[in-house]
Structure 1
Amino acid sequence: MSAKPFGKPRPLWRVVFLSGFSLLLYYGWYKWIIQEELRRYNGYGWSGTKCLLPFVLGVTVPQLLRIFDPDVPGWFGWFSLLGIVWIYIVQFKLYNTVNQLYRQAGMKEPLVVWWMFIPGLNLIVGLRQIHFLSEFWAKEQGLTVKDSIAETLPFLSANV
């Protein structure tokens, strides 16, 4: 076991349930806290705020200006795509970081990063990231975490 500050294992079933129940508010918190945990554990990396604030502002500000300021043209709303591009950059870094954790621990990298660019597979790699980060934290702490979704759908948990 390491002396580094570990993150908390958060099984996929819990993240999915709480995200749905809270209309994705929990998912925003989840994204923020895992970035903070990874930054503390690795001693470097982007904070949760750096990852989420540009996304939230990038998506909402153009829409709010377009809606509430009559002088802003309708096409200005397309600037929200900058927030979407930002979150893809953040996800790319996150998936690489999770793979790096596994590689450094002598385990096989679990995520296929380029899947994030293919509709459908982007959801799968995102769910796999949640599962495998939780598994990594659990293994580092000598814990076992039950994850009913990952156990039921082996393509989410298989690292072969």
Structure 2
Amino acid sequence: MRLLFHNIGLSKDLNNQFKKHLNTDDAEQVEFYILDMEALPMSPVVSNLIIPDEIEKTFQRFKKFYKDKYPSRRPKLLHHLSKGELKANYLKTPKVFQASTYQMSILLQYNNNTSYTREELLQNTGINQDLLDQQLKYLTDLKLLLLDKTTYDLNFEFNR
């Protein structure tokens, strides 16, 4: 377990260096946790998830930064273990949501349109059907999305 704590300490230092590397006042509020596969063996999840550009661009910037520091290492994004925060500016009172990568992939679609069918979300996100259905159920139960017969519409009246 000592190796895992060592990796967490290194991740904190690395994140601070990355934020300095971004060299902007409005740097993305992002943190990456680097874990050695020997410290916590994890099998990569086979997925066709289409990482949204908003996430992919940031990961690619970090990947380049990391590769410059450690040329022999290859970081991988473990999206099934990742989460992030999304700010909903479309509401009367903006809100910040913590979401899994899958939920972010769905919700970020709504930057382009306010309504999608299940099939469109399947195609746009690459999330498998069962997992997409679970995520859509969660987002509709939360009332962030509203199911209107065949479409999932953004709820402009969300007030939790």
TM-score over 0.5 for the alignment? no
Instruction: State TM-score, norm by structure 1.
Output: 0.26
Structure with more relative contact order (C-alpha pairs < 8 Å, separation 6 or more): 1
Instruction: State TM-score, norm by structure 2.
Output: 0.26
Higher fraction of helix: 1
